[in-house]
A = this chain, B = another copy of it.
Amino acid sequence: MYVAILAGGVGTRLWPRSREAMPKQFSDVIGSGRTMIQTTVDRLDGMVDISDIYIITGRNYRSLVLEQLPGLPPGNVIVEPSGRNTAPAIGLACAHLHHRDPNGIIALLHADHIIQDVAAYRAVLQQAELAAQADYLTVLGITPTSPHTGYGYIKRTGEPLPASGNLPVYAVDSFLEKPDRATAEGFLASGSYYWNAGNFICRVERMLAEFERQLPELYTGLMTIGDSLGTPQSERVLDRIWETLTPISIDHGVMEHAERLAVIPLQAGWNDVGSWDALEEVLPMDKDGNILVQGETLLVDSRGLIVSGGKRLIALVGVEDLVVVDSGDALLIGHKKQIQKIKEVVQRLRAGERLDLL
């Protein structure tokens, strides 16, 4: 099994730790001592060789990837010339893999996802590999822990498919858009719905066949790029073709109407840390409900804090329910319940041309 890790996003919801020059996947968001992309690779240790791991990212991040993953062959960094949504990015990864090993199986993962139960995760990945060998296009379905309205959902059919391996594999009934609250509550109660976190495992040829059937123009472009790989023209071909590719998501472009779709439930403490308050779901609290992610803190009568410090001591006196993040050049102090308004900070920095702080 090959792994292709999507690492091209520029998350601003974890500002000021996640920045355009240093997006969250290259940061140690949870204070583990490893960046998110390093942890993503660590998680595959002993299961997938580093030379079989590919990273899809923007040109600006190529050197960061090589710096943070010193064992990675430089040729395994696949550069997207620009962000054109997930279908072209995944198609590009498949074109590369197909060039190397037409019979390979590819696991498409993300560089900024947290998994708490790594053993459970690895078991699911291995089950997904078995399903891929049986020519299923397998998606990991995150067992929902709340009626979240920020994710798309996957509905499974009733009974597990007859398949090898120990874990249940279900046929996918349908991919569903982000629901409203009441609908999400129904999904959660039913037990037949999963969050779609965009993790797919399949034979490379299986994915490319779906591109060919559903997105023929995109497929043609990918084949042109694929044919140029290993030639002196490859970069020039990529740059020329890339800008012509339709920017469409893999869900809309491929998954919603793909054939032989299977879902394997993943119940392993998955989290994509979409905002600072999500750290409450992945990190332990002290007895006063504080999460002290990193840095030196001194707390006096303070509760419910999330503190991601930097090099300087942060003294907190008589405060509650704050998010505090010190990135060295910027400092965020926000109320936990209003932390989504961080978007406005980023917008105003952009409008004020404080690009150094974006």
Chain B residue with Cβ nearest A342:
B317
Interchain CB contact under 8 A, A335 and B312: no
A134 on the B face (CB < 8 A) = no
A300 on the B face (CB < 8 A) = yes
Taking CB atoms and an 8 Å cut-off, the chain A residues in 300-358 that contact chain B are 300-301, 312-319, 322, 324, 326, 328-335, 337-339, 341-342, 344-345, 348-349, 354, 357
A182 on the B face (CB < 8 A) = no
Interchain CB contact under 8 A, A319 and B348: no
Over the window 33-59 of chain A, the binary record of Cβ atoms lying under 8 Å from chain B Cβ atoms (1 yes, 0 no) is 000000000000000000000000000
CA distance A330 to B316 in the complex (A): 11
Of the candidates B15, B300, B342, which one forms a contact with A345 in the assembled complex, judged by CB atoms under 8 Å apart?
A: B300
A16 on the B face (CB < 8 A) = yes
Number of copies: 2
Interchain CB contact under 8 A, B329 and A16: no
Of the candidates B301, B319, B332, which one forms a contact with A315 in the assembled complex, judged by CB atoms under 8 Å apart?
A: B332
Interchain CB contact under 8 A, B318 and A337: yes
CA distance A326 to B338 in the complex (A): 23
Q: How many Å from the CB of A350 to the closest CB on chain B?
A: 12
Over the window 272-316 of chain A, the binary record of Cβ atoms lying under 8 Å from chain B Cβ atoms (1 yes, 0 no) is 000000000000000000000000001011000000000011111
CA distance A179 to B180 in the complex (A): 61
Query: Given A301-B341, A317-B338, A317-B341: A331 and B312 within 8 A (CB)?
Result: yes
CA distance A341 to B301 in the complex (A): 9
Q: Which of A298, A316, A332, A354 has the most CB of B within 10 A?
A: A298
Q: Which residues of B contact A331 (CB under 8 A)?
A: 312-315, 326, 331
Interchain CB contact under 8 A, B317 and A357: no
Q: Which residues of B contact A313 (CB under 8 A)?
A: 329-331, 354, 357
Query: Given A298-B349, A345-B300: A334 and B318 within 8 A (CB)?
Result: yes
Q: Which residues of B contact A326 (CB under 8 A)?
A: 331
Chain B residue with Cβ nearest A305:
B333
CA distance A314 to B349 in the complex (A): 12
Taking CB atoms and an 8 Å cut-off, the chain A residues in 187-216 that contact chain B are none
Q: Which residues of B contact A318 (CB under 8 A)?
A: 334-335, 337-339, 341
Provide 17 A-B residue pairs closer than 8 Å at the C-beta atoms, listed in order of the A residue: A298-B348, A300-B344, A300-B348, A301-B341, A312-B329, A312-B330, A315-B331, A316-B333, A316-B334, A317-B333, A317-B342, A318-B338, A318-B339, A319-B322, A319-B333, A322-B333, A324-B333
Task: State the A residues within 8 Å of B (CB).
Answer: 15-16, 298, 300-301, 312-319, 322, 324, 326, 328-335, 337-339, 341-342, 344-345, 348-349, 354, 357
Beyond the given A312-B331, A315-B342, please list 17 additional residue pairs across the A-B interface where CB-CB is below 8 A.
A16-B315, A300-B345, A300-B348, A312-B328, A312-B330, A313-B329, A313-B331, A313-B354, A313-B357, A315-B332, A315-B334, A315-B345, A317-B332, A317-B335, A318-B339, A319-B333, A326-B331
Leading 10 A-B pairs by shortest Cβ distance: A318-B338, A317-B334, A318-B335, A315-B345, A314-B331, A313-B330, A300-B344, A317-B341, A315-B332, A300-B341
